[in-house]
Chain A
Amino acid sequence: MEILISIKPLLTVLVPLLVIPILVSSSQKPNVREAWIFGAGFVMFFLVASMVPAVLSGSKIVFTLFELAPGADIAFQVDGLGMLFALVAGSLYIVTSLYSIGYMRGLKEHGQTRFVSFFALAISATMGAAFSANLLTLYLFYEILSLATYPLVAHHEDAKSRISARRYLVFILGTSIGLVLPAMIYCYHVTGTLAFSTAGIFAGQLSKPAATVLLLMFVFGFAKAGIMPFHSWLPAAMVAPTPVSALLHAVAVVKVGVFSIVRVITGIFGVDLLAHFNLGVVVMVIASFTIIVSSCIALSQDELKRRLAFSTISQLSYIVFGVALLSPSGQLGGVIHILMHAFGKITLFFCAGAIFVATGKKYISQMKGLGRQMPVTFAAFFIGSLGVIGLPPTGGFYSKWNLILGTLEAGQTIFMVVLLVSSFLNAFYFLPIVYQAFFGKGKDDLSGARVKIQEANLCLVLPLAITALASIGLFFFPQMFVDLITLGLNL
């Protein structure tokens, strides 16, 4: 494998960071401010995209920023896995920026400059996490992301957001300091390195009990992944404005959590070690529990964003589940679900926000008949639902297909049942919403009267149409991402 040294990964992280002072100084001129956000978004995306050919040809792009101690440095590396995640976060950041203009201005929100600034900081940290070359760097960006999101969750400055922000922090910061930090330092103490390597870093220095404890500390410690019982911050965080729920709590933040777990399983322990100790099953049981239980909870939620949040919790565990299968198809299915779920779920959140801006409604029971008023939004909602359930013609089908294949490969047929049951549950909590919206009758529907089409403004509708179409596009063209994952995980 060829190693290229390039400053591009660092630049990708710096671009959104450096634009923040400009955002703050142009707070009185919203249009100028928004122009800068798009500028930064596009520059960042092109930087990421420009590294794709090199990564696809099997090279690895590296850059070391500074060294703390031998084996523990702040360094970047761009491999297939990081590239996949960076592409997802980078492209969706641009779409979300457009969406958040429509949302924040549509609702005349306060503190918009603070909002976009911390948003930029969050995306910078996400990119850093994607391109981390070792666990220390990953931890650094993980923590920055936690703190950058805190003001976004607390955005409304009222009693409810105060409680939610507190819960957010207790879970996220509590687990990362309480579990991940000691586990990471212990890894360094044992091996003298934290750099990711597909062979793992332990080389036989770890007994089974120690490996089990460490693995559990990591799996639960990266609480952004929403593994039960450390999940309840996510529904609480839904008090944040919808663009935050969409990009951060369906894509960036939660997937940094999952991504970290994937990195630990594939880069720190290594598939072989976990297979040798038979520890994949432990993680799978935990993930399966989360998948089923949170799907059931989602069924009972009437507030749309909360239902989406519980759905996210269960979908995140798909990814962890797939990687813990330790079989090639399972890992492929799990990791590519980062991409597929991102496009499906962000569409759903965009729809929820658009409905709220256009009609002020946030409860599912109020949405009967709304589909005739907002056909585009609900069509997109339908596509997004298909993506999350895992039905063709959306990309979600591809990940579910591989996950099921993976259970067979690994000889874990019982766990296939988990996937199937959960798919049914997904269908149960999404499809009735769409059905009721188009065919149900709302309280204030006058019989026979023709409903006027009244969509939310274009800044809101365009992004959700784009992501819905992309979700379909991914069904037909997943090959590049499959290649990235195959290269990244050495499958």
Chain B
Amino acid sequence: MNNMPAILVLAPLLGAFFACLAAWIQKQLSYYIALAAMAVSCFAAVSVLTDVITSGTMQYRMAGWAPPMGIELRIDLLNAMVLVLISAIAFVNLVASVKNVEQEISDRAPSFYVMYLLFVVGLLGVTATGDLFNLYVLIEITSLTSYTLIALGDKDRAPLAALNYIFIGVIGASFYLLGVGYLYITTGSLNMADVAVILKGIQGSSAVLTAFILCILGVWIKMALFPLHVWLPNAYAFAPVGFARVVAPLMTKVMVYVMVRLMVTVFGLEYIFETLNLADAVVWLAVTAILAGAFTALFQKDLKKMLAYIIVCEIGYMVGGAWLGNSLGMTGAILHILNDGLMTFALFLAVGNIIYMRRQTAFSDLSGLFAAMPWTMAGFVLAGLSIIGVPPTCGFFSKWYLVLGAFEAGAYHFAAALIISSLVCAVLFFKVFEICFFEADSGAGDHNPAKVITEAPVSMLASLGLVSVAIIAAGIYAGTIVDTIILPFLQ
């Protein structure tokens, strides 16, 4: 039996345990253990993806117990892709973050790494599991760790933001749990594949409808779909930057994955689009989310806040695409999980570099950045263009599928929302570029004339460079990704 699926999740879990112990001996040791654990996990994820592509869906029974009694990891093309995304981002971010952590929370660095690993365990587990209740437990693991990690951030404002997140997060998780309860009552099973088979016979049942709505609502709260998003901007903006840049690209995307999983695998697209009559309303909700996110971002005066609202907007892209009811829209939504993960990560990497050098990300502190940090800004510009949707960056190609899907479904309002938000994003980013380019660095003074390059350390720049290459590569190979991963999954 191929143990890679288990190693994938267990490596960071064991890593967390040993990192915790190692901190008693020497603080720095916990970082290296975390790094090694993530490297192993990343390797396992890539190997699982190649296996799944060549030989199809992988089922791994934890401790050999057969489902539906035992817990099953079930990895098909979709979650194999998301697993690679999670482990790769978590690994690269560790490389990039070590200096940020030293600077921001050096006294609590070991606890940061331990919590970080547990958070990643949660994300990987949520993605890999084939069990509905297991999914709930793992969501709680990600949530609990992220509460603590966010609270480590900004001394004045982070605790409140974290508290806010706890309240809303608990409500979201409870909704989901309640939904799973209903499913268990009606089907007597918690295994996704098993539940899906049983549900086919009882589609008219109002208990199933209740279960579906509760589960989806819970997931939406967790993914910050407008208007359930209020917890997100503060939580992400005040978190320590080493954590912000892993939670921002991944947490919401993993919840989108859960939504797609519930729709495609558990309840079935046929049930959702033919029995239920919700698709139109949800697409409208997505349109509102896109526009609200984009326009609220316009009013922000801080880079991190602006990016946080862009995430709210991007969530609308994916929810809308998934609910269009055709395979083009779903393709766009799934492709955007990957692409948006990469671009958001790149943007937050750049933000981390800026914070490392300048400590601030208010717009007024960004002046002269092109002259001072040309490489960081190059990465930032590339990621920004990808958010706007300029080819050949990957953001263009997911937008391509989403708009095409919108036309096919006759959802012209969704297509219009996508175009408008692209335009608003162009305004947002070029506003920032203008400040960084035209305004001379006021704080520089005479002793440090402008044009002197003060770049972030190499480890941070290399990470950003790597992700920038990935953004272009994901764009160029968008067709290949769709053909080998997304379309076979949807069939």
For B389, list chain A residues within 8 Å (CB).
Answer: 177, 181
B178 lies within 8 A of chain A by Cβ: no
Contact partner of B385 among A68, A72, A139, A147, CB < 8 A?
A147
Interface residues of A in 114-149 (CB under 8 A from B): 136, 139-140, 143-144, 147
- Give chain B residues whose Cβ lies under 8 Å from the Cβ of A139: 391
User: Which residue of B has the minimal Cβ distance to A67?
Assistant: B479
In the bound complex, residues from chain A placing their C-beta under 8 Å from that of B437 are: 151, 154, 157
Q: Contacts A66-B477, A69-B482 known; A154 to B390 CB distance under 8 Å?
A: no
Decide if A43 is an interface residue (CB 8 Å cutoff).
no
Cβ of B422 within 8 Å of any chain A Cβ, yes or no, is yes
A160 to B362, CA, bound (A): 25
Are B438 and A162 within 8 A (Cβ)?
yes
* Interface flag for A74 (CB, 8 Å): yes
Closest A residue to B388 using CB positions? A177
A311 and B436 CA atoms in complex are apart in Å by 34
Are B479 and A69 in contact, with the CB atoms below 8 A? yes
Query: Does B140 interact with chain A (Cβ within 8 Å)?
Result: no
A181 B408 Cβ-Cβ under 8 A = no
Residue of B nearest to A162 (CB): B438
**Is the C-beta of B276 less than 8 angstroms from some C-beta in chain A?**
no
Question: Within 8 Å of chain A (Cβ to Cβ): is B430?
Answer: yes
Q: How far is the CA of A178 from the CA of B482 in the complex (A)?
A: 26
Q: Report whether B477 and A182 are in contact in the complex, using a CB–CB cutoff of 8 Å.
A: no
CB of A476, distance to nearest CB on chain B (Å): 42
A66: min CB distance to chain B, Å? 6
Among A143, A147, A178, point to the contact of B423 (Cβ < 8 A). A178
Segment with Cβ contacts to A, from B5-13, B396-404, B463-471: B396-404
Question: Which residue of A has the minimal Cβ distance to B400?
Answer: A185
- A69 to B397 alpha-carbon distance, docked (Å): 10
Could you tell me the distance in whole angstroms from the C-beta of B427 to the nearest C-beta in chain A?
A: 8
Please tell me if the beta carbons of A66 and B476 are within 8 angstroms of each other in the complex.
Answer: yes
B residues in contact with A206, CB < 8 Å: none
Cα of A68 to Cα of B480 in the assembled complex, Å: 7
Whether A68 contacts B397 by the Cβ 8 Å rule is yes
Check A74 against B438 for contact (C-beta < 8 Å).
no
**Known contacts A182-B403, A185-B403: does B408 contact A173 (CB below 8 Å)?**
no
Least CB distance from B416 to A in Å reads: 8
**Would you call A174 and B392 a contact (CB within 8 A)?**
no
Contact check, B434 vs A162: say whether CB atoms are below 8 A apart: yes
The distance in angstroms between the C-alpha atoms of A72 and B422, with both chains bound, is: 21
B407 CB contact (under 8 Å) in A68, A151, A154, A189:
A189
Which single residue of chain A is at the shortest CB-CB distance from B426? A173
Whether B22 is near chain A, meaning CB under 8 Å from some CB there, is: no
Q: Complex: how many Å from CA A188 to CA B403?
A: 11
- Inter-chain contact B404/A147, CB cutoff 8 Å: no
B-chain residues with CB within 8 Å of residue A136 when the two chains form the complex? 391
**CB-defined contacts of A185 to chain B, threshold 8 Å:** 400, 403-404, 407, 415
A173 shortest CB reach to chain B, Å? 5
> Would A182 and B415 be within 8 Å (CB), given that A66-B477, A147-B390, A166-B434 are in contact?
yes
CB of B478 within 8 Å of the partner chain? yes
* B163 is an interface residue with CB less than 8 A from chain A: no
Q: Are B419 and A177 interface neighbours, CB within 8 A?
A: yes
Of the candidates B408, B419, B480, the one whose C-beta lies within 8 Å of that of A178 is B419
Residue of A nearest to B480 (CB): A66
* A425 lies within 8 A of chain B by Cβ: no
Other-chain residue from A68, A165, A178 in contact with B479 (beta carbon distance below 8 A): A68
CB distance from A334 to the nearest CB of B (A): 28
**Interface contact A68-B419, CB-CB below 8 Å:** no
Q: Which residue of A lies closest to B440 (CB)?
A: A157
A401 contacts the other chain (Cβ, under 8 Å)?
Answer: no
Which residues from chain A contact B438 at a C-beta distance below 8 Å?
154, 157-159, 161-162
Residues in A whose Cβ lies below 8 Å from that of B408: 189
Q: Say which residue of B385, B404, B423 sits within 8 Å of A174 (CB atoms).
A: B423
Q: By the criterion of a CB under 8 Å from any partner CB, how many residues of chain A are at the interface?
A: 33
Q: How far is the CA of A144 from the CA of B437 in the complex (A)?
A: 19
A68 to B430, CA, bound (A): 28
Determine the residue in chain B with the shortest Cβ distance to A74: B392
Contacts of A177 on B, CB cut-off 8 Å? 388-389, 419, 422-423, 426
Which residues of B lie under 8 Å from residue A151 when comparing CB positions? 437
User: Contacts of A189 on B, CB cut-off 8 Å?
Assistant: 404, 407-408
A169 within 8 A of B: yes
A68 to B423, alpha carbons, bound, how many Å?
Answer: 24
Q: How far is the CA of A67 from the CA of B480 in the complex (A)?
A: 8
Distance of A157 Cα from B434 Cα, bound (Å) = 10
Please, how many angstroms separate the alpha-carbon atoms of A177 and B418 in the complex? 10
Please measure, in the bound complex, the distance between the C-alpha atom of A331 and the C-alpha atom of B434, giving whole angstroms: 41
Query: Of B385, B430, B477, B478, which is within 8 A of A166 by CB?
Result: B430
Complex Cα gap A186–B415 (Å): 10
Q: Which B residues between 375 and 391 are near A, CB-CB below 8 angstroms?
A: 385, 388-391
Residues of B near A157 (CB, < 8 A) are 437-438
Interface centre among A136, A144, A159, A182 (most CB of B within 10 A): A182
Contacts of A147 in B (CB 8 A): 385, 390
Q: How far is the CA of A186 from the CA of B482 in the complex (A)?
A: 20
B478: shortest Cβ distance to chain A, in Å? 6
| Least CB separation from B407: chain A residue | A189
Interface contact B419-A181, CB-CB below 8 Å: yes
Q: B450 to chain A: closest CB distance in Å?
A: 10
Nearest B residue to A158, CB-CB: B438
Cα(A188)–Cα(B408), bound, Å: 11
Q: Chain A residues near B390: list those with CB within 8 A.
A: 143-144, 147
Other-chain contact of B419, A66, A69, A182 (Cβ < 8 Å): A182
Q: Which of A162, A166, A185, A189 gathers the greatest number of chain B CB atoms within 10 Å?
A: A185
- Interface positions of A from 67 to 95, Cβ below 8 Å from B: 67-69, 72-74
User: Smallest CB–CB gap between B400 and chain A, Å?
Assistant: 7
Contact B391 A143 (CB under 8 A): yes
* B479 near A66: Cβ-Cβ < 8 Å: yes
> Which B residues lie within 8 Å of A154 (CB)?
437-438
Q: How far is the CA of A261 from the CA of B205 in the complex (A)?
A: 56
Residues in B with CB closer than 8 Å to A143 are 390-391
Chain A residues with CB below 8 A from B479, complex form: 66-69, 73
Cα–Cα, bound, A186→B416 (Å): 12
> In the complex, what residues of B have CB within 8 A of residue A140's CB?
391-392
Q: B417 → chain A, closest Cβ, in Å? A: 12
Distance in Å from the Cβ of A187 to the closest Cβ of chain B?
10
Chain A nearest CB, measured from B395 CB (Å): 12
Least Cβ distance of B420 to chain A in Å?
A: 8
State in angstroms the CA–CA spacing of A159 and B434 once bound together. Answer: 11
Cross-chain contact B407 with A186 (CB below 8 angstroms): yes
Task: With both chains docked as a complex, state the minimum distance between the C-beta of A183 and any C-beta of chain B, in angstroms.
Answer: 11
CA distance A139 to B193 in the complex (A): 44
Residues on the A chain within 8 Å of B392, using CB? 74, 140
Residue of A nearest to B425 (CB): A177
Within 8 Å by CB of B478, from A68, A144, A169, lies A68
Known: A173-B388, A173-B426, A181-B419. 20 other contacts (CB 8 A): A66-B477, A69-B482, A73-B479, A74-B392, A144-B390, A147-B385, A154-B437, A157-B438, A162-B434, A162-B438, A165-B434, A174-B426, A177-B388, A177-B389, A177-B426, A181-B403, A181-B422, A182-B419, A186-B407, A189-B407
Q: Mind listing 14 A-B residue pairs with CB under 8 Å?
A: A67-B479, A68-B400, A139-B391, A140-B391, A143-B390, A144-B391, A147-B390, A151-B437, A158-B438, A159-B438, A169-B426, A177-B389, A181-B389, A181-B419
B residues with a Cβ closer than 8 A to A are 385, 388-392, 397, 400, 403-404, 407-408, 415, 419, 422-423, 426, 430, 434, 437-438, 476-480, 482
The 4 closest A-B pairs by CB, nearest first: A189-B407, A140-B391, A68-B479, A162-B438
